[in-house]
Structure 1
Amino acid sequence: MASTPTPDDAAARRPAATRKVTRHRGEGQWAMGHFTPLNANEQFKKDDDGLNVRTRIETIYSQRGFDSIDPADLRGRMRWWGLYTQRKAGIDGGKTAILEPHELDDEHFMLRVRIDGGRLTTAQLRAIGEVSETYARGTADITDRQNIQLHWIRIEDVPAIWQKLEAVGLSTTEACGDCPRVIIGSPVAGIAEDEIIDGSWAVDEIHERYIGDKEFSNLPRKFKTAISGSPVQDVVHEINDIAFVGVVHPEHGPGFDVWVGGGLSTNPRLAERLGAWVPLEQVPDVWAGVVGIFRDYGYRRLRTRARLKFLMADWGPEKFRQILEDDYLKTKLIDGPAPAEPSTRWRDHVGVHPQQDGNFYVGFAPRVGRIDGPTLAKIADVAAAHGSDRLRTTVEQKMIILDVAPDQVEPLVAALDALDFQVRPSSFRRGTIACTGIEFCKLAIVETKGRGHDLISDLEKRLPDFDQPISININGCPNACARIQTGDFGLKGQLVLNAEGEQVEGFQVHLGGSLGFEAGFGRKLRGLKVTAAELPDYIERVLRRFEEERTDDERFAEWALRADEGALK
């Protein structure tokens, strides 16, 4: 592995024209000579690389307990190994932005298991289930980035958990932190009948070359990657720092269109195309070039401006591509076509679908991604009993079982249904996702997972015949982990006043956001907020108006953007 970049190392890597040290602080860009840390996060990263904390966890903290953990490790470097302190129980949402970090911290952790490409074997799923049962009070959540998160982790148990996970080829390396996060990939890569190109090799190659390597372990902020050769466009490529989207070049054949600079949170921005076509074998080099630009030119002065999307907003795709080609790749990229519209409105692969080899893959819908440890083991058993050893997670908090023989499809569907996992779910179960929420997250203001679970049941009873694709994205705070700006209903958690003037949990509503089809952010109407108790009534009312007013084949997002304000309240 490469050593941690120093000012001298960084200068040596840059072209001569940029090798100068300026005296003003600027934006904290290394490539401009701004090496002095400008905030506490940059300071602790300079003091010691986040990857180095593993040794202290194994030899000191797990032996001496929670109180022995250095604060810079506790709320900083431990993220490089997938660990965040979780929210102390009993702290209401009104205190989220008031209390100091140590007042919000519980003495337990969330642990994020990194699952690149969403790929799991039955042995790996069983191992996660066993860790959940033994060390995490049975908790397990599938995230909208294909990972699985566990809660109630004690620092004393972390080494044993790593041993269990790594024995089956899983890890938590750089699952969090200012580094390259999990590489999301098409969950049906290499098997789908309609696939343009299989990106699995690139996912593996990037992971092998760069994950856990100190060359890229100190970035200005987190870095998110997506790779998919599916015409379904199943990795939300528009909101990643870098995405490779499958396309067919008229002269060079199947490859990838490159997108850079997407991200949500409180300053959402869609990624932009560089206009470049990249063959499969060049994907890792292009990825490393883009990450290198982010490392060297990314804004390190303010955390709120440190994501790659801000640099892309200032530079634009033409300048970004030029610097990538001239200074990092040392070669020109091939111009290429934009991807076509997705081939289906549902991009989650739920249902029964043919594979290239004559078998089928079967996608099913947990409720808002929540699954307990014992049930993970049962899913692995069900897959194995019906001839499969391979499973996948999706960016919609769903799961897929691969390689199912034709005569095993319906028995598998029945076995999953017995576990309350529907292969042919309602639009509401299929389209609702939720972030962690106030139960465990220190940033959250409202509860999300349980509310999403109950909302699904309520809407299924109220609108049993509703069959249009619909996305309901429930977020516990403004940070958009559940992609509120891009859902048909994007629900941003906040405290609101009810009819009696009491402060209660509720949501600001975004309407008509979309990815894939005319990607864009949802519509916000002045004062459009609902209490948590009013939420089922509100969604039912709007969906009934949609059904009354929609034109033939009109999607909800299209209707919501043109509808009168009165129809949306």
Structure 2
Amino acid sequence: MPPARRKKGEGQWALGYFTPLNPNEQVKKDDDGLNVRQRVLDLYARHGFDAIDGQDLRGRLRWWGLYTQRREGIPGGQTATLEPHELDAEFFMLRVRIDGGALSLEQLRAVADISTTYARDTADITDRQNVQYHWIRIEDVPAVWERLEGVGLSTQEACGDTPRVILGSPVAGVAKDEIVDGTPAVEEIKRRFIGDKAFSNLPRKFKTAISGSPRQDVVHEINDVSFVGVRHPELGPGFDVWVGGGLSTNPMLAQRLGAFVTVDEVPEVWAGVAGIFRDYGYRRLRTRARLKFLVNDWGAERFRQVLQDEYLHRALPDGPAPEAPAPDARDHTGVHEQVDGRFYVGAAPRTGRVSGTVLNRVADLAESVGSDRVRLTPQQHLLVLDVPGDRVEEVSAALEALDLKVRPSTFRRGTMACTGIEYCKLAIVETKQRASVVIDELERRLPAFDAPLSLHVNGCPNSCARFQTADIGLKGMLMTGEDGTHVDGFQVHLGGGFGEDAGFGRKLRGLKVTADEVPDYVERVASRFVEQRQGEETFAAWVARAEEGDLV
């Protein structure tokens, strides 16, 4: 009788599986991704794109925010068939990490100047509060780094298997209704752990969110670890801890640990959760390497126990769950009074797409009214803080003149889009411009529509624009047109969302629309919602009870 086979592990370091189990793990074992910076400075920036080692080009450069850009003219049907080198352009997308979305005017001007000088005036506000450039040459990267680091910004660990940018409430420290200001925790995590090689080789990306706002404005349900503001009946204001959220092709909502931490304890607990991911996270199969799979297998109770016993070496107190925010409360567009009597003004660009030219004008505008602070949001929006009451209308009008809508339509306010095929090597269809056209069409066709509605347009299944959690989520795909040729299209997801009834959108069998049909489809479904809506019913609640025929 042959000996029993040893069960194959998941590649967890804590269980003794240190042998690299896939090519990505081998690359990280060969050299820490943070080390590529010196090769950029000494070699690649001097000798150009062709000098870049392949493992650095499509691997370690991500540790410094760099992804190769999609070569122009490659159709979506070839995204999954061409070799990586055939998809690469000799330009880069470069992501600037802006933890908490907080920028001084000096920082904003640096971001803007890099855009106009090195990135062909491109700048996208992402749903991670980053700014993303395109058309960056490797020869210019040292100058870009010098400019950013001179004002306290960086691209370090903006991508890669690392702790990515920390989402923070865009109104931290200024909102009248804030439970607790999470800014000190964001800054301490950044100071102590970003760039620390103890956390620079994680199984996959690691996403963090910290907000003490009752609006719950950092999509805590889909981050690897989140700290959500609550008031403990005995211990006062602090945070409720959530772990294991994530989207992409296997979406999962985060689970509450039921543990309460103060703002001072957040960094230590963050390091414990990140340490569990590093040590117990699955490394054998990259498709199972996100923290959500470990949390799903372990459950919240076991995860909390390991965190307390092996990493914190103390028990955490139980705490209350956060109260559900009002529908659509996470958004910060419009004019809002701050705790100090001044105002913040929130504006919606078109799907996060701005430019260095526009950002410089925003900086000039803020400075003209005595403000030195701008914030970016997880909804791809922008806020100007500290506006005097008698200058609010002036600021609002000036932002509107830049096509940054302070009083946006429902469709401008709720539409997000990922980078799409214009620049992204993973995309199948175009997104940004298409979403912009949809906004214009719906504003023209449904001018009186004012119910909250989110429309998220994604160029592939990876959900960078969070299509599963939108009222109407569109996942890019190729469809067969009437003449038998491939045309851009979308699979439709309906009724996703966050908050008390958080969940993923409903997929109806065969519900797909071509790109050209999107305005007609959204108009049709939005109109039926208005006709059948009961009181203040949300779109997601209507979708849950609607007849299938009303959703097609």
Determine whether 1:266 maps to 2:249.
yes
Distance apart, 1:386 and its partner CA? 1.6
Determine whether 1:394 maps to 2:382.
no
Query: Is the contact made by 1:496 and 1:503 (CA closer than 8 Å) also made in structure 2?
Result: yes
Determine whether 1:446 maps to 2:433.
no
Q: Which residue pairs with 1:166 in the alignment?
A: 149
Query: What is the CA–CA distance in structure 2 between the aligned matches of 1:536 and 1:385, rounded to whole Å?
Result: 39
Query: What is the CA–CA distance in structure 2 between the aligned matches of 1:387 and 1:558, rounded to whole Å?
Result: 44
Number of residue pairs matched by the alignment: 548
Query: Is the contact made by 1:189 and 1:198 (CA closer than 8 Å) also made in structure 2?
Result: yes
Q: Which residue pairs with 2:419 in the alignment?
A: 436
Structure 1 counterpart of 2:392, from 385, 409, 416 = 409
Give the counterpart letter for 2:271 in structure 1: A
Q: Which residue pairs with 1:518 in the alignment?
A: 501
Structure 2: stretches of 5+ with no match in the other structure: none
Range 214-223 or range 514-523, more displaced: 514-523
Distance apart, 1:466 and its partner CA? 0.3
Structure 2 counterpart of 1:558, from 541, 547, 552 = 541
Distance apart, 1:501 and its partner CA? 3.4
Query: Is the contact made by 1:25 and 1:34 (CA closer than 8 Å) also made in structure 2?
Result: no
Give the counterpart letter for 2:63 in structure 1: W
Structure 2 counterpart of 1:89, from 54, 72, 75 = 72
Query: What is the CA–CA distance in structure 2 between the aligned matches of 1:227 and 1:497, rounded to whole Å?
Result: 44
Structure 1 counterpart of 2:161, from 178, 183, 186 = 178
Give the counterpart letter for 1:252 in structure 2: L
Deviation per CA, 1:424-465, whole angstroms, max 9, x where unpaired? Answer: 010000000000000000000000000011111110000000
Structure 2 counterpart of 1:334, from 297, 301, 317 = 317
Query: What is the CA–CA distance in structure 2 between the aligned matches of 1:420 and 1:187, rounded to whole Å?
Result: 20
Query: What is the CA–CA distance in structure 2 between the aligned matches of 1:56 and 1:119, rounded to whole Å?
Result: 30
Deviation per CA, 1:159-207, whole angstroms, max 9, x where unpaired? Answer: 0000011111110000000010000000000100000100000000000
Q: Which residue pairs with 2:295 in the alignment?
A: 312
Deviation per CA, 1:51-99, whole angstroms, max 9, x where unpaired? Answer: 0000000000000110110111000000000000010000000000000
Q: Which residue pairs with 2:472 in the alignment?
A: 489
Structure 1 counterpart of 2:34, from 38, 44, 51 = 51
Range 183-192 or range 412-421, more displaced: 412-421
Q: Which residue pairs with 2:22 in the alignment?
A: 39
Determine whether 1:71 maps to 2:38.
no
Query: Is the contact made by 1:232 and 1:344 (CA closer than 8 Å) also made in structure 2?
Result: no
Runs of 4+ in 1 over 6 A off after TM superposition: none
Q: 2:9 aligns to what SS in structure 1? A: coil
Determine whether 1:194 maps to 2:177.
yes
Distance apart, 1:500 and its partner CA? 3.6
Distance apart, 1:331 and its partner CA? 0.2
Determine whether 1:538 maps to 2:521.
yes
Distance apart, 1:346 and its partner CA? 3.4
Structure 1: stretches of 5+ with no match in the other structure: 1-21
Distance apart, 1:155 and its partner CA? 0.3
Query: What is the CA–CA distance in structure 1 between the aligned matches of 2:500 and 2:107, rounded to whole Å?
Result: 35
Distance apart, 1:23 and its partner CA? 7.6
Distance apart, 1:502 and its partner CA? 2.9
Structure 1 counterpart of 2:205, from 222, 225, 233 = 222
Deviation per CA, 1:449-485, whole angstroms, max 9, x where unpaired? Answer: 0001111111000000000111000000000000010
Matches within 5 A, 1:203-282: 203-282=186-265
Distance apart, 1:344 and its partner CA? 4.9
Determine whether 1:549 maps to 2:532.
yes
Query: Is the contact made by 1:262 and 1:270 (CA closer than 8 Å) also made in structure 2?
Result: yes
Deviation per CA, 1:93-119, whole angstroms, max 9, x where unpaired? Answer: 000000011110101000000000000
Distance apart, 1:24 and its partner CA? 6.2
Q: Which residue pairs with 1:350 in the alignment?
A: 333
Distance apart, 1:345 and its partner CA? 2.0
Query: What is the CA–CA distance in structure 1 between the aligned matches of 2:21 and 2:7, rounded to whole Å?
Result: 12
Query: Is the contact made by 1:226 and 1:242 (CA closer than 8 Å) also made in structure 2?
Result: yes
Query: What is the CA–CA distance in structure 2 between the aligned matches of 1:332 and 1:339, rounded to whole Å?
Result: 21
Q: Which residue pairs with 2:368 in the alignment?
A: 385
Range 338-347 or range 283-292, more displaced: 338-347
Q: 1:474 aligns to what SS in structure 2? A: strand
Determine whether 1:370 maps to 2:356.
no
Q: 1:334 aligns to what SS in structure 2? A: coil
- Name the TM-score, length of structure 2 as normaliser: 0.98
Q: 2:501 aligns to what SS in structure 1? A: coil
Distance apart, 1:25 and its partner CA? 4.8
Structure 2 counterpart of 1:110, from 70, 93, 101 = 93
Range 494-503 or range 512-521, more displaced: 494-503
Query: What is the CA–CA distance in structure 2 between the aligned matches of 1:254 and 1:498, rounded to whole Å?
Result: 56
- Name the TM-score, length of structure 1 as normaliser: 0.95
Q: Which residue pairs with 1:461 in the alignment?
A: 444
Q: Which residue pairs with 1:152 in the alignment?
A: 135
Query: What is the CA–CA distance in structure 1 between the aligned matches of 2:384 and 2:74, rounded to whole Å?
Result: 39
Query: What is the CA–CA distance in structure 2 between the aligned matches of 1:373 and 1:336, rounded to whole Å?
Result: 44
Q: Which residue pairs with 1:14 in the alignment?
A: none
Distance apart, 1:497 and its partner CA? 2.0
Query: What is the CA–CA distance in structure 1 between the aligned matches of 2:500 and 2:398, rounded to whole Å?
Result: 34
Deviation per CA, 1:521-561, whole angstroms, max 9, x where unpaired? Answer: 00000000000000000000000000001100100011011
Query: What is the CA–CA distance in structure 1 between the aligned matches of 2:403 and 2:321, rounded to whole Å?
Result: 40
Give the counterpart letter for 1:459 in structure 2: L
Query: Is the contact made by 1:142 and 1:393 (CA closer than 8 Å) also made in structure 2?
Result: yes
Determine whether 1:132 maps to 2:115.
yes
